Chain A
C-alpha cells in the first residue's frame, strides 16, 4: 500500500510548531507571529481550523472576562473564585497570569468582529454572571481561525498527529512531531525548535449516558480525543491532577448549557416536587468537606453532589424551571440563542419531545466524566509559571513550558489553571506563543535533531492497524468479529466500560476505591496490550485508532492519579469509598505523575500548592 511506502514522507521544518487549531492553538499562532516576524510558524490540525476544536459549534458566552476597564473585577478576585471552585487546589500563578491578560484578548475579539452583547443601561458588555459576558457566538471559531490563518506561515489541515519526536542528543528535549494525512495517508514529519501542544482534552474516556447513535451527543466534543495528554505524557513530561475529572450538570441528553438560564434569566433548579434541595443538604456536605462547604459561590462539584443525593433519594427528575422566567419575547430569544449558538442538539431535543421552555420545565442530569484543563477542572501538564510572580519552585525558565525542554502547552494541555474557557485558552496560547519565541531566539545555533531510528520505528507503528486489518480480514467471511483484531470502536467501548465500572463513572454513581481501581488497572493493562491489534479498514479508522491510543494513555493517567490521592477531594466529581472525606492534612497538594519511556514505569508524587493570593 502506498500509505506505508517509505518514500511517501513529507518533511516540514519550522521554528515553532503549534499542534491543534482550537482556541489555544490559534492564540499561540497569533502571538508567536507578533513577536517572531521572521520565524516559520506552522499550525497543524486534525480537522479543518475553520470549524475545529471545542468551539467549532459556536458559543453563547465568554466565560472568562475581568472587565478591569470598568473596575468590575481584578485578576486576584478571579484566582480566589477558581481556587474556591477547585476546593483549594489550583496553580494560582498560572490563573493570575491568564486573568491579567484576558481582557486584551476579548477586546481584540470584539475588534475582529465578534458581536458581544451590550447592557443598554451602562453600555458595558452584558454580564451573564460575575465572570461571563454574553455573545452572539455562532461564528466565534471562524473569526478566530481567520486571525490564526493570517499569522501562520503554513496551516496543515487533516493531519492526525500521533507522536511527539524527541531530540537525538538530549533525551528530555522535544524535536517535533509525527502524523499522517487523513485524506491520502502521507506521513508528515514536523521538525521544530519549539512545539506548543494545544490539542484537545478528553471526551469518550468514560462510558457516555447514551450508548447507541446518541453516543455522539456528549457534552465535550467527540473529537476531543485526549491528544493533549496522550501526546505529552509519553514524552516523560510531568502531569498533574489527572484525577480531577469533571462532571457537568446540564440539560438532559442534549447537554445544553445552564449558565444563561440560571445566572442571567434566574431560572430555579428544583427536584421533581419543586423544592430547592441544595440548601437542605448543606449540613451533610459540611460533614464531608468541612470549611469548603462555606465557599461562595458553592463549588461546582458540591452542587453536583447535592443533585446526585437528590436523585439517589428518588426525588428526581431534577428540573430547570424555565417556564417561570420567560415572560418576554426578548428573554425567550436569549434562552433559544443560548442553545442555537453552541448546542443545537438541545433545540433538537426540545422540538422532538414537544418541550416549549415557556410552558414547561426541562430535565437536568449529571454527565459522564471528562478530562480537561481548560474548563472548570485542572488536569494537564506541570508547567513553568510567569517569571515575575511565580514561586521559585513553579518556574524553570520559560512560561508555559512543560518539564520537557522546548515543549510548551496551552488550553487543555496545561494543568492547574482551570476556568480558562475560550478566552482564557486563547490567552494561554498567547502566553505560550510569546514564550516559545523567546526560547527559539535563545536557542540560536543549537537546534534539536530528529532521531532517525525513532522515526523508522514509529513509521511502522503508525500504519500497523491498516496491516492488521488487511491480513486479519482474510481469516473471516464478513462482519465485525475477527479473532486477530478489534476495531477502534470496539476498543473504545472496552475502554469506556472499564473506566465507567472501576474508575468512577455513571454506573457506580461516580464511586470507586482502591480494590476497584486495581482491578480496573489489570483490565486496562490488557487493553493497552491489545492496542497492538487494532484493525483499521481505512484512513478514517486509522485516525480513530490513534485517537483511541491517546484516550487509553490518558485513562491510565486518570486511574493512577485517582489511586494515588487517598481522599475524596471533589465529591460530585468522584468518590473514593475507602476515603470518603476531604483530608487537608495529607492531601492539600497536587498529585503528579511521570511516565518513564525507557522502563515503562510511572512515578507518582505530591507537589506543593502555594497560595500567593490572600
Chain B
C-alpha cells in the first residue's frame, strides 16, 4: 500500500507520524492506530518502518507494478550501529544483509561553537570552517581574477 500498519501490533504511539517526510502517516480516530493516508505520496523510504518501536509497519509494493507475496523487512539498531534486512521473494527465496550505519556514538558531534572562534578578519576570506586543515591540502585552490575584457 506502500506502507501499512498491522492492527494487532500498533499501539498508537505516533513515532511514524512524527518522522514521515511526506506527512502521510496519520492516527485513525476510530482505532487510535496509525495508517497511510496517501499511498500515492509514499516513497517507500522506510523512515516510519525503521522508527516504529513495535515493528508494526510494513510495506506492500506499489500495486501498479509489484506482484503480491513479497516482503522486505528491516531492523535498525542505533546503539549497535547496524541495519539488517530480510528480503523474502514472491517464490519464497530469502536474502539477508547487515550493513553498518555509523562509526561514532549518537550525539557525539562537536558543535561548531565549541571550536576556537575564527579571527574576525577571516570573515572576508574565501576560507570555510576548519579549512585549510580539513581539506587535506596546504592551500585552498583559487583562480586568477579575470576582468570583463578577458571573458
**Residues of A with Cβ closer than 8 Å to B?**
30-31, 33-35, 37, 46-48, 50-53, 56-57, 68-69, 74-76, 96, 100-101, 103-104, 107-108, 112-115, 136, 138-139, 143, 146-147, 150-151, 158, 182, 210-218, 221-223, 253, 333, 336-337, 340-341, 344-345, 347-354, 356, 386-389, 391-393, 427, 430-431, 434, 437-438, 441, 489, 540, 543, 608, 610-613
Contact = CB atoms under 8 A, between A and B. Distances in A.
A315 B151 CA distance: 46
A168 to B, nearest CB: 28
| Shortest Cβ-Cβ A-B pairs, 7 listed | A69-B136, A214-B64, A113-B104, A214-B62, A104-B134, A351-B70, A34-B112
A213 B59 CA distance: 13
Contact of A612 (B100, B117, B143): B143
B45 A139 contact: no
A31 B112 contact: yes
Given A48-B21, A344-B44, A34 B59 contact: no
B87 A351 contact: yes
Nearest to B69: A352
A613 B143 contact: yes
A352 B101 contact: no
Interface of B: 1-2, 18-24, 26, 37-47, 59, 61-72, 74, 76, 83, 85, 87-91, 93, 95, 97, 99-109, 111-113, 115, 117-118, 123-124, 126, 128-132, 134-137, 140-148, 151
B99 A136 contact: yes
Contacts of A74: 141
Contacts of A35: 118, 123, 129
Nearest to B1: A213
B1 A112 contact: no
B65 A349 contact: yes
A285 B36 CA distance: 46
A37 B100 contact: no
Nearest to A391: B151
B86 to A, nearest CB: 10
Contacts, number: 272
Contacts of B43: 57, 216-218, 221-223, 345
Nearest to B18: A48
Given A344-B46, A351-B90, A354-B90, A104 B130 contact: yes
B40 A213 contact: yes
B112 A337 contact: no
A378 B128 CA distance: 24
Interface of A is mostly: helix
17 contacts: A30-B129, A48-B20, A56-B45, A101-B131, A138-B83, A139-B102, A146-B107, A212-B40, A213-B39, A221-B43, A347-B72, A347-B85, A348-B61, A351-B88, A354-B90, A387-B126, A612-B143
Nearest to A255: B43
A53 B22 CA distance: 10
B30 to A, nearest CB: 16
Nearest to A345: B44
Interface of B, helix, strand, loop or mixed by DSSP: loop
Nearest to A103: B135
- The interface centre, meaning the residue of B66, B67, B111, B136 with most chain A CB atoms within 10 A of its CB, is B66
Given A213-B2, A352-B89, A430-B129, 13 more contacts: A30-B129, A33-B112, A57-B45, A107-B135, A214-B62, A222-B42, A223-B41, A336-B85, A341-B99, A349-B61, A350-B87, A388-B126, A389-B145
A222 B101 CA distance: 25
A33 B41 contact: no
Q: Which of A74, A103, A611 has the most CB atoms of chain B within a 10 A radius of its CB? A: A103
B107 to A, nearest CB: 7
B62 A217 contact: yes
A333 B126 CA distance: 41
A388 B97 CA distance: 48
Given A101-B128, A353-B90, A56 B47 contact: yes
A51 B47 contact: yes
A35 B116 CA distance: 11
B64 A348 contact: no
A136 B146 contact: no
A138 B63 contact: no
Contacts of A113: 102-105, 108-109
B37 A540 contact: yes
B111 A151 contact: yes
Nearest to A147: B109
A430 B127 CA distance: 11
A306 B28 CA distance: 49
A393 B65 CA distance: 50
A214 B126 contact: no
Contacts of B128: 31, 101, 104, 427, 430-431, 434
B101 A344 contact: no
Contacts of A112: 104, 109
B87 to A, nearest CB: 5
Contacts of B45: 51, 56-57, 221, 344
A588 B88 CA distance: 52
Nearest to A50: B19
Given A345-B44, A387-B126, A431-B128, A115 B72 contact: no
Contact of B109 (A48, A100, A146, A391): A146
Nearest to B129: A34
Given A344-B46, A347-B87, A351-B88, A212 B63 contact: yes
